[in-house]
Amino acid sequence: AIDISKLRAQTGLITLDPGYVNTGSCESSITFIDGEKGILRHRGYPIEDLCEKTDFLETAYLVIYGRLPSQAEYDRFRDDIAEHSLPHNGLSRMFEAFPKDSHPMALLASVLPSMYAYYPYDENDPAQVDKAILRLLGKIPVLASWVYRKLRGWPLNYSNPDQSYAANFLDLTFNTPANRFKLDPDIVKALDLLLILHADHEQNCSAATVRMIGSSQVNLYAAIAGGMCSLWGPLHGGANQKVLEMLEVIKNDGGDIQKYLDLAKDKESGFRLMGFGHRVYKNFDPRARIIKKHADRVLSKLGINDPLLKLAKELEEAALNDSYFVDRKLYPNVDFYSGIIYKAMGIPTEMFTVMFAVGRLPGWIAQWREMQSGSTRISRPRQVYQGETRRDLMSMVKNH
Ligand code: ACO
């Protein structure tokens, strides 16, 4: 690799790479992706093995701390997270200021930087930094469930430390006396799997944002808030919501798949096939493969025959036989099938990106920790200026 800062100092050269298509922003040991082969590994462990042999907390520990926990470390991690799971009442009161039809991401992303007001910490004290990490892992799922309940006008629930992370989230969110939520082990396992699949994905838009913001040495909560806002966009984590909305539109339009493929190929239309394509994967996104397999299982377990799953499979099949998508190596990404499982679990479409955020939290934390422990240089890209050169100023305003 070329050290650009040395080269620039010697030559005055600036690389122009809009969208950072070919620019490495850091060295990292967290996540490995081979986009040509469709390989994803965290700390060297294949994503398929992590899905089969760990739960979300174990994967989160691995991603954040770099190695698998011993049983004692795992138990301690789980207990510490549970101990720090109760959000301050002031944070839930913030939600009351929002309109009832707010997007859930607006609430969750707003509350994050405010955590520093309730839990300030000394950045130079590693024990306090660790506590901030546990607070995020403990409180974010609770706050995410509170967003859902607040928008419905339901009373809030509190964490049950005896349940797994995934079971606790489902229980927190859906349990009401009128609707006693039964934690089906297969549904809990499916959510756990979805969380694992979202745990990290190297220098994606939101992780790069966390590093960019964090490089100013702002507190962890503010850096994660930035990542969460970046995730919200439809080209990133917001795509899971858009996929389901797109499938509904196609279904309601008579299921005319070819019409929408043609629309996606027409650059003037402004329409893209949501859940398709990836900056790094030029092959199947391994996460999409795993989710697709589980979508069938979850839906049949719940006795749901969702026409959207059938439509999604037909759309995938048609795109993979279309030279436009084949030539550009556009395959389904993680967001293509995840929404169908979330929907089957009873999670409303507008909550999908919140679910992504809960899963991605360990990745953001790990990227932030790695950045903090390495170069402390502020991230500050350069530009190629294209504006006016020097002009003489003659003001046209008479009354200032
Ligand atoms: N539908 C139709 N055409 C597409 C799509 C799509 N979903 N994705 C890419 N293309 C086309 C582009 O128009 C471009 O065509 P061209 O070479 O004729 O100009 C070519 O494929 C390359 O696409 P880029 O936009 O250059 O790819 P980039 O790496 O910048 O973008 C992205 C990747 C944002 C994921 C893109 O594929 C996309 O918009 N997909 C839909 C949104 C989506 O699913 N996002 C989730 C990504 S996964 C995640 O973040 C969790």
Annotate 67-119 with DSSP letters as a single string. Answer: SPPPHHHHHHHHHHHHHT----HHHHHHHTTS-TT--HHHHHHHHHHHHHHHS
Per-residue confidence (pLDDT) for residue 230, from 0 to 100: 98
**How far is Cα 25 from Cα 65, in angstroms, rounded to an integer?**
21
Between the alpha carbon of residue 8 and those of residues 152, 260, 377, the distances in Å are: 55, 46, 16
Task: Report the separation in Å between the CA atom of 344 and the middle of ligand 1, taken as the mean of its atom positions.
Answer: 27
Q: Is the pLDDT of residue 177 over 90?
A: no
Q: State the distance from the centre of ligand 1 to the C-alpha of 336, rounded, in angstroms.
A: 13
- Quick check: CB of 87 below 6 Å from ligand 1? no
pLDDT of residue 295: 87
Phi, psi of 32, rounded to the nearest 5 degrees: -110, 130
Mean confidence (pLDDT) of the chain: 93
Nearby residues of 196 by Cβ (< 8 Å), 6 or more positions away: 47, 50, 51, 54, 55, 56, 59, 359
C-alpha closest to that of 42 among 77, 58, 66, 69: 66
pLDDT-derived band at 388 (thresholds 50, 70, 90) equals very high
Site to probe by mutation for ligand 1, drawn from 328, 337, 364 as the one with most ligand atoms within 8 Å of Cβ, is 328
What pLDDT shows up at residue 13? 83
In which band, very low, low, confident or very high, does the pLDDT at 199 lie, cut at 50, 70 and 90?
Answer: very high
Strand 31-34's sheet: what is its strand order? 31-34, 39-42, 45-46
Pocket test for ligand 1, best of 230, 273, 278 (most atoms within 8 A of CB): 278
Q: What is the pLDDT of residue 186?
A: 87
Q: What is the mean pLDDT of residues 314-331?
A: 96
Question: What pLDDT does residue 101 have?
Answer: 92
* Cross-strand pairs, 332: 276
Cα–Cα dist 56/157, whole Å: 21
Judge whether 125 counts as a catalytic residue: no
pTM value is 0.94
Q: What's the token pair of residue 289?
A: 């493969």
Which of 308, 297, 182 is closest to 248 using CA atoms? 308
Residue 95 confidence (pLDDT) above 80 = yes
pLDDT the model gives residue 113: 97
Question: Cα(16) to centroid of ligand 1, in Å?
Answer: 20
Q: Is the pLDDT of residue 2 over 80?
A: no
To the query of whether residue 17 is one of the catalytic residues in this protein, the response is no
Residue 360 · residue 146 · CB < 8 Å: no
Q: Determine if ligand 1 sits within 6 Å of the CB of residue 333.
A: yes
Residue nearest atom 15 in ligand 1 by C-alpha distance: 328
Residues above pLDDT 70, as percent of the chain: 99
| Residue nearest ligand 1's atom 26 by CA | 279
ipTM of model over 0.85:
yes
Residue 143 has a pLDDT of 97
Question: Does residue 3 register a pLDDT over 90?
Answer: no
Nearest residue to 329 (alpha-carbon basis) of 18, 36, 5: 36
Helix residue ranges per DSSP H, the chain: 4-11, 47-53, 56-65, 71-83, 89-95, 104-118, 126-152, 165-174, 185-197, 205-214, 220-231, 239-252, 257-265, 286-301, 307-320, 323-327, 335-344, 352-373
